[in-house]
Amino acid sequence: MKSDKTPPSAPASSTGLEPTSRIHAPVDRRAFLKNTAIAGAGTVGAGLLSTAPKAFADPSHGSITRGDAAILRFLAAAEIIETDMWQQYNELAGIQDDEVPGGSGIPDFTNAVAQLDADMAQYIHDNTEDELTHELFINAYLVSKGAQPVDLRRFATLPSSKVTGAQQIGRLTNLMQLTVDTTWFTRYRSRTGNPDLGDTFPPAIPSLAVGQHPGIPRADSDLNDPNFLQAIAYTAGFHFVNIEVGGTSLYPSLAQRVTSAEVLRIVLSIGGTEICHFQTWQDKAGNVLPLTATDPVTGVEVSFPDLNSPPLGGEDFQTNLIMPEPTAFLSRSLPACSIIRPTQTRGAAMGAMHGLTNMGIFIGQSPAFFAFLRELATQADAAVRGGS
C-alpha cells in the first residue's frame, strides 16, 4: 500500500483549489470551475490514511474522524470520475460556456441527444457543473479539516474522442466502449423487489448490457449514418441514468457510517442532488423510440425496444412510471415503502467501484489507477459510525 507522510495540502493550483490558509476566503465560483475544467478532472496522488493522525484537527473548525475522512475521500474520487465523464458529454452535446468550458459541440449529435428531450443540452451542462462543484467542495472541506484531498490528474491518460468538437486532452474515463446496466429501470418500477433483500432485476435494454457501445462519437466517421448516431445518443441517454443511479445509492449507503453531524449534512445534501439527476435522466431515457443499429466499426448490434408495448410494458417497463414504486424495505414483514434502493452500507464503496468498472469507463486505465481507487474504497468501507 502506498504511504505518504507529507502533511495535508491543497491540490495544485490548476485545480482551482485554494491553499489551506486561504480556503475560507470568498471564492470566485466561476473562475473556480473554469480553472478546474481547463485542467481536466483532477486527482492528486494524495497520501493514504494509514499514516494520518487518528483525527484531523483544524483549530478553528474542529476535526473529523479518520473514517469520515475516508468516506469523503472516496466520494471525492467518485465525483472527480463523474466530472470527467460529464465533461466529455458536455463538450459534444451540452452547452459550452464559461461555467463549463471546453469542446465546441457537434450539432448533429446534440440534436440526436435532444430526441430524448429538447432541454438535454442544458441538463448535460448543469449536471457537469454540479459534479465539478461536488468534487471541489469535498476536497476543499477535507483540506479545511487538515485531511488529504484526492487528486486523480496523474491518471488522466486515456485518449479523447477524435471527433471534431472534443478537446484533445488526457481523460480519466473512456466513453467509447460502454456496457450500460439498465436494471435500474425495472428495479425502481418493481413493487416487490429490493436488491438489499437479494432480488435481481432484468435490464430494460438487454443489448446494452453486453458488448461495448460508444456513448459519444469516436471520430467524424461516426457522424455519417444518422441511425447509428441516434443509437450512440440513446446509449448516452441510458448511460446518464446508469451514472446517477449509482450516486443515488452511494451517498445514503455511506451516510450510515458517518460520525460527525456536519459530514452527515454534507453527504445527505450532495446525495440529494444525485437523486435529482437520476430522476431527471430516467424520465428522459423513457422517451426512447424503437431503434436498431449496428456499429460499423465493431459489428456490435444495439436494439432499443418499445418499452411500452408487449412483451414489455406494464408496471415493470411503462415509461411514465418515473416515481420510485413502493417496495419491500428492511423486511418483507413491514409495509411497502417508496425508497432509494439499494442502500445497504456494507461494502458500498467497493460496490460502487465495481459498478463504475463494469460500465467499461476504465478500459485502458493503469493498474496503479485501480490500486489507488481500490485503496480509497477499502478505507471508506472500513469506516465505522462513531469510530475514530
By the criterion CB under 5 A, which residues form the site for Fe ion?
A: 79, 82, 131, 134, 244, 247, 274, 277
In whole angstroms, the minimum distance from the beta carbon of 11 to Fe ion comes to: 18
In whole angstroms, the minimum distance from the beta carbon of 192 to Fe ion comes to: 28
Q: Considering beta carbons, is residue 85 or 156 the nearer one to Fe ion? A: 85
Distances (CA, A) of 293 to 117, 208, 299: 21, 12, 10
Q: Considering beta carbons, is residue 41 or 49 the nearer one to Fe ion? A: 41
In whole angstroms, the minimum distance from the beta carbon of 269 to Fe ion comes to: 11
Cell 466529455, residue located: 88
Do 315 and 321 form a contact (C-beta atoms < 8 A)? Answer: yes
Cell 432485476, residue located: 201
Q: Considering beta carbons, is residue 68 or 274 the nearer one to Fe ion? A: 274
In whole angstroms, the minimum distance from the beta carbon of 79 to Fe ion comes to: 5
In whole angstroms, the minimum distance from the beta carbon of 48 to Fe ion comes to: 22
Kind of pairing between the strands at 291-294 and 301-304: antiparallel
Grouping H, G, I as helix, E, B as strand and the rest as coil, residue 307 is: coil
Cell 467542495, residue located: 137
What is the CA angle 378-382-387, rounded to 5? 150
Q: Considering beta carbons, is residue 68 or 79 the nearer one to Fe ion? A: 79
In whole angstroms, the minimum distance from the beta carbon of 316 to Fe ion comes to: 25
Q: Considering beta carbons, is residue 171 or 277 the nearer one to Fe ion? A: 277
List the helix and strand counts (H, then E) for the chain.
Answer: 10, 6
Cis omega (within 30 of 0) for bond into 367: no
Give the Cα separation of 75 and 152 in Å (integer).
Answer: 13
Give the Cα separation of 219 and 197 in Å (integer).
Answer: 44
Q: Considering beta carbons, is residue 79 or 381 the nearer one to Fe ion? A: 79
